[in-house]
Amino acid sequence: MSDSPSLQAKAKWLVLGLGNPGDKYASTRHNAGAWALEEISRELSVALRLRPRDEMVTAEADYVGSLVVLCFPQTFMNESGRVLAPLRKKYGSFDGSNIIVIHDELDLDAGVVRVKSGGGLAGHNGLKSIAAHFGSNDFQRIRIGIGHPGDRNKVLNWVLSPPPKEEAELIRLGAKVAKDAALSLIAQGVEKTMGEFNVRQA
């Protein structure tokens, strides 16, 4: 079933926290987006639950009068966009301006957070998959810096490795900032949020 009358009456937001499923990857840099999603679920006092049939971990919350759907795809990063089909089936379509994707970002120092609306995908395979399944790049992104190893040949091992303690603490702090940025996008919109968060750590 698609939208119920109650769902149609409410503004709907989809917040995707990207990463790879399973304990093996839980502490890796690539899972920074999933860390932020956990922060949001705690802030909104909702429990993320596994929906194995739909390959996702999800929760629903009411925030500033909007329905907020939290989702951590369990498809592995490169297939993140596959969750959009079952989400559409349950909730109906989401406007791109109301889709927030939180992800790790090699081009930012560890823990630095930036908000971006639409535009290029910077080679991020999770974003590429979402754009392919959504049919557009026009959705909101929150980028959590994980730093760069300095050599493109080391990138794969870098993103799939746990950072050292001090760096992990910075990225965890970034996940908390990303949580605040996501809630700001929902409550205040993209312009105010970018104005606040994109200068905060400059």
Range 40-45 average pLDDT: 98
* Packed helices 84-91 and 125-134: angle between N→C axes, nearest 10 degrees: 40
- Closest by alpha carbon to 47, among 55, 38, 34, 56? 38
Domain ranges for the chain: 5-200
The whole-number pLDDT of residue 5 equals 41
Task: Read off the pTM.
Answer: 0.93
In order of 38, 80, 103, 153, 154, the CA distances from 175 in angstroms are 9, 19, 10, 26, 24
* Dihedral angle sign, alpha carbons of residues 70, 94, 65, 196: positive
Kindly report, residue by residue over 146-190, the tens digit of the pLDDT.
999 999 999 999 999 999 999 999 999 999 999 999 999 999 999
Q: Tell which residue, 147, 37, 24, has the closest CA to residue 83.
A: 37
Query: CATH assignment of 5-200, given 3.40.50.1970, 2.60.120.10, 2.40.370.10, 3.40.50.1470?
Result: 3.40.50.1470
Hey, which residues are catalytic here?
30
CA distance 79 to 156: 16
Alpha helices for 56-154 (secondary structure H): 84-91, 125-134
What is the distance in angstroms between the CA of the first residue and the CA of the last residue of the chain?
A: 45
